[in-house]
A and B are shown apart, each in its own frame.
Chain A
Amino acid sequence: MTRRRDAKLSSFGPAEEPESPSRGAEEPPALAVSTLVGLVDRAIKGDDRFADVWVRGEVSGFRPAASGHWYFDLKDEGALLHAAMFRADNGRLKWQPEDGAEVLARGRVAIYSSRSELQVVVKDLRPVGVGALALAFEQLRRRLEAEGLFAPERKRPIPQFPSRIGVVTSLSGAVLRDVARTAARRFPAARLLVADARVQGEGAAESVARGIERLNARGHVDAIIVARGGGSMEDLWAFNEERVVRAVAASAAPVVSAVGHETDFTLCDFAADLRASTPTAAAEALTPDAGELLAWVGESEARLVRALEDLVPDLQQGLDERVERAAAAMRRRVAREADLLAQRAGRLESLSPLAVLARGYAVAKREGRLVREVADAPPGSEVEVVLRDGALWGKVTKVRRHGEEG
C-alpha cells in the first residue's frame, strides 16, 4: 500500500512543473502551494482508507452555523482534527453534540484547501457510552423544559364528564379496543372520536401530531387520549419527537397520554395534562363510573323529596306563628282601648257636678235654673240650694256684688 502511494507521488515529479524563466538553474524545482495542497488532497481522496472512516474523539468548539451546517473539532491528548457535518447529514441526528462529549464520527477525510486544513466531513455521529436515543431524549427534554412546555401551571384540569373523547392511536391496534371497552363499560354516554395515526416508524410523529390537531380543529372533543401499546424505545420514539410534544402542548382540549407500559416515559407524557400508565387507565381517568353516578342521582332525588317534606311542617309552624302574632296584636289593641275608656270615664266623672258637691260646694237654683250671678236671684226670690246629700230652700234677704259696700 505504502509502496503504491510512493509510486504515485513520484509520478508527479518536479520536472512536470513549469519552470520559472526568471529563476536561475541552481534554484531547486518547486511546486505552487495550491498544486501541492491539491496533490495531497487528491492523494487522500484516492485512498479508500480515508473515504469512509470511523474516528473516535472528544468534541470541542462545537459551533452550529446559521446555514444549518455544524463545525467542530475532534481531539484527543495528542491531536486535533477539524470536522464539518452538513445540514443534510446532521438533520438525521436526533441528538446534538456538546463540547466535551466523547463521540464516534464516521465520514471521509479531506483537505479544506483554502486553509490547507485537514478535516473530516462527518456523515454519522454517535455518542460514546450512552445511547444516542437516550441522549436525544435528555437533550430535547432539557430544551423543552427550559421553554416551560412541561410546567405544572400549564396543566389543564381533566374534564369529569366528557361527552366526546378524542383518541389518537392506530385503528388496528389493541389499544383502541381497550379504550373503547373501558369507556363503554364505565360511561356509555361518552362518544369516542378516533384519529387514526401511525404510531411507529417513518412519519409517525407527523401522523400523531396531525391527529391531535385534527381533533382540536374539527372534532369538538372535550379531551384527547394519545395512546400506544408497549414497545422498545425505538418503537415509542415518535412520542419523543418535538413535533408531537409541541402538538400536545398546543392542544386546546386537555390531553391524557398513555404511551407504552407503565415504566416507559415519553416527552409526550411530560407535555400532556395527565399521564396514564396504560390506555385503559387513560379511558378510566376520562370517564366517570355510571353506576356511581346513578346512585348519586337516586340519592339526590331522595334528598329533594325529604327537603320538600321538611318544608310542610316548616310552613305550618310559620303559619301558626303568624296567627299567634295577630292574636297577640289584637289582644294588645283591646287592652289599649279598655285603658282609654277607663281614662275617659275618669275624666267624665271629675266633670260631674256631683263630684264638686262631694267636695263641699253648693249649687244654687231658682225656678229650676242655675243661679250664676247675683242678678239671677234678687232679694225676696226663692232659691233652691243643692248640697251633697240633699237640698234646702230659702228666701234671698240681701244681695251684694263683689266690691260693693255691704
Chain B
Amino acid sequence: MAKKAEPTFEEDIEALDGIVAQLEGGELGLDESLKRFEEGVALARKLRARLDAAQGRIEELLETGEVRRLDLE
C-alpha cells in the first residue's frame, strides 16, 4: 500500500472539527472518548505550530523546472 501523504492544513482543521463534534455528541464510551480527546489535543498543537511558523517562503519556478529561493528585500 502506498504511504499516506501528510494531511493538508485543511484536512487537519476538518479532523479537529470532527473530533470536537464527536466528543460533544457524547456517543462515545470512556475509552474512545479519551483516545479522541488526545488526538484532538495533538491536532490543535500541530495546527498552532504551523500557524506560528516563521516567515513564509518565496521561491521561483524556472522555465527548466528548477526551483530557487527568492529574496525580495
- The chain A residues found within 8 Å of chain B, CB to CB, are 159-161, 163, 166, 171, 176-177, 180, 183-184, 187-196, 210, 214-215, 218-219, 290, 293-294, 297-298, 300-301, 303-304, 307-308, 310-311, 314-315
Contact = CB atoms under 8 A, between A and B. Distances in A.
B21 to A, nearest CB: 9
Nearest to A196: B60
A186 B37 CA distance: 29
Nearest to B10: A161
A298 to B, nearest CB: 8
A298 B47 CA distance: 10
Given A307-B20, A307-B23, A293 B51 contact: yes
Interface residues of B, number: 37
Interface string B12-52: 01001101100110100010011001001100100110111
B45 to A, nearest CB: 9
Majority DSSP secondary structure for residues of B touching A: helix
A347 B54 CA distance: 91
B56 A195 contact: no
B44 A218 contact: no
Nearest to B47: A297
Contacts of B72: 176-177, 180
A301 B44 contact: yes
Majority DSSP secondary structure for residues of A touching B: helix
Contacts of B23: 303-304, 307-308, 311
A-B pairs with the 3 shortest C-beta distances?
Answer: A307-B23, A161-B9, A184-B56
22 contacts: A161-B9, A166-B61, A171-B70, A180-B56, A188-B53, A189-B50, A191-B56, A193-B67, A194-B58, A194-B59, A194-B70, A195-B61, A214-B65, A215-B61, A293-B47, A294-B52, A297-B16, A301-B41, A301-B44, A303-B24, A308-B33, A308-B37
